[in-house]
Amino acid sequence: MVGATEEVELNRLENQVDNGGGGDWEYLCLVRKLKVRRSDKVLKHGLSILNDSKKRSKLGGEEWTLYEQVAIAAMDCQRTDIAMDCVKVLQKKFPESLRVGRLEGMLVEAKGSYEDADNIYEGLLEDNPLDQVIHKRRIAMSKAQGNISEAITRLNKYLEIFMADHDAWRELAEIYVSLQMYKQAAFCYEELILCQPTVPLYHLAYADVLYTIGGLENLQNAKKYYASTIDLTGGKNTRALYGICLSSSAIGQLTKGRNKEEKEGTELQSLAATALEKDYKKRSSNKLPLLTATLKNLKL
Amino acid sequence: MAEDLVLDTAIRDWVLIPLSVVMVLIGILRYFVSKLMRSSSTPDAKMVKEGQVVLRARNLRVAANFIPLKSFRVRKAYFTNEEDGLLHVPKGTAAPNPQAQMLSDPNMAMDMMKKNLSMIIPQTLTFAWVNFFFSGFVAAKIPFPLTQRFRSMLQNGIDLSTVDVSYVSSRSWYFLNLFGLRGLFSLILGEENATDDTQKMMQMSGFGMDATKTLGAEKDGLDIIQHDWVLPKFEKRAERVLRKLVA
């Protein structure tokens, strides 16, 4: 995650670099540190350093890191010719390196020959069966080929060992949602909430999944998780506000004939509706009638 | 008493400064030597998995109240059930103790030895050097008074109770340098690279920590945990937040 101050700093540096104000290397370092994806800029500025032998030699040992960074950025921009040059330089310098091997695999992958890339990765895995990056690359490859079921099997196999890797859990959750396998997705989101209980996005996604599954208990739980999202975001998340309204209305429909005891917490949904109206009034008043009509339909 | 001891400036030029410089240089040299000798060990799958299991179980223990009771129960059973729970360690097959493992695996012993050699040899050599050339005299004075307790730390090698404690003997200066240069090394060699003797020693004594023990401890932790779902409270809190927002 990129913090707000870091992002400001990053954008400031990017601006400065774009206008030729220097600080290229600092910018590239920051991009690498924050793991943001700005491949076009990295490619442009990284390449200008690499092509200038004076600047390049000033980096010392860091030169090779830059080659790697530029190679990956070039692959991302479909400039496989540049990536190939970088990888070749690195291969010459580190002939036996696993890290360069990975790059080689990624290069083949970027060219679209997935089978060859898979072979390369498999060869690398024989020596280092626990390399997380390679496992993830293979998962991403099956996904890119449209072979979702294989991606799921591989992800599950990966998670059997690296079960504390929340990024993998997130990926799996999103795949399950895309396949409408909501029960499995709910499990993954629970895992994510366990990992980082204060990230509102996971609460929101979990609530969405529960709401989609349906049933009284799930709807009630969904409402609770929408509520926690509201609490964690300070009421600024529009989706969570809508979620409260929708799940309350669904609960209302399910419990229509029953006694009044179960119809508690009506205040929350009316509050959510008011908050929504206020927000729309402030930010997009021309869509306000649409909102009021929708809320009316929900019979809150 | 404190005023009447005047230190020769030659002591500063020929003892204090050379000693510090030598210590720094040796530290740097040792860093590069150990970097040369370091052999990358590939972690074995079982150990990685155990570490990850412990991590995930810890997450579950800490954040248990954020998931519904049913989900918590499922996970708890997955981790702690007596047949094939992830944290359950069958009694008979406890991992062989690391001492025996070390004997059976010469690579491991070799690694240990390399680490120790890079630490002990330069230390004994420098200590012998300091002891031979600079033993038994006062090398520096610190600018503030100290209590008698510090005598053994600052005046190692001088057995005079009449000397003020703020004088530092040369051998003590060596020790101060040995343990106090870490900050400087992390400046010179980068944050993670600092050769840290004290930490290494801790690692040594902590070596042979039993993975099965951490698993067992984590299992006990999970067993006694009470599930108290916090989400119902969040509805009230969300109400409060929204009321503030709407008002």
Question: B56 and A267 in contact by Cβ < 8 A?
Answer: no
Q: Does A268 sit within 8 Å of B239, measured CB to CB? A: yes
Instruction: Kindly report the backbone phi and psi dihedral angles of residue B106, in degrees, each rounded to the nearest multiple of 5, phi listed first.
Output: -60, -30
CB within 8 Å of A111: residues ≥ 6 apart:
A80
Give tens-digit pLDDT for A94-117.
Answer: 888 888 999 999 999 998 889 999
Mean pLDDT of chain A: 88
**How would you label A39-68 residue by residue, b for 16+ Cβ within 10 Å and e otherwise?**
bebbbbbbbebbeeeeeeeeeeeebbebbb
Nearest to A89 by CA among A74, A80, A98, A100: A100
Q: Which of B43, B64, B235 sits opposite A130 (nearest CB)?
A: B43
Name residue, tokens 């396998």.
A181
**Partner residue facing A268 (CB), from B56, B66, B238:** B238
Check if the beta carbon of residue A77 is closer than 8 Å to that of residue A39: yes
Q: How confident is the model at residue A158 (pLDDT cuts 50, 70, 90)?
A: very high
Q: Do A275 and B239 touch (CB under 8 A)?
A: no
> Which of B14-23, B44-53, B99-108 bottoms out in mean pLDDT, i.e. has the lowest?
B99-108
Dist. CA B167–CA B143, nearest whole Å:
9
Are the beta carbons of B67 and A221 separated by less than 8 Å? no
Residue in A128, A164, A235 closest to B241 by CB: A235
Question: Looking at per-residue confidence, does A258 or B175 come out higher?
Answer: B175
Q: Which residues of A touch B234 (CB under 8 A)?
A: 224, 227-228, 231
- Residue pair B87/B53 in contact by the 8 Å Cβ criterion: yes
Which 64-93 residues of chain B touch chain A by CB within 8 A?
A: 64, 66-68, 71
Low-confidence winner among A52-61, A129-138, B111-120 (lowest mean pLDDT): B111-120
The CA distances from residue B29 to B21, B113, B189, in Å, are 12, 18, 11
Q: How many CB pairs under 8 A join A and B?
A: 92
Round to whole Å and give the CA distance between A246 and A265: 14
ipTM: 0.79
Q: List the single residue in B55, B66, B234 with the smallest CB-CB distance to A164.
A: B55
* Residue B138 β-bridge partners: B169
Q: B88 near B199, Cβ under 8 Å? A: no
Which one, of B63, B236, B229, lies nearest residue A197 by Cα? Answer: B63
Burial B116-155, CB ≥16 within 10 A → b, else e:
eebbeeeeeebeeebeeebeeebbbeeeeeeeeeebeebb
Q: How far is A161 from chain B (nearest CA, A)?
A: 5
Domain ranges, ordered by start, for chain A = 1-94, 198-300
B67 neighbors B76 (Cβ within 8 angstroms):
no
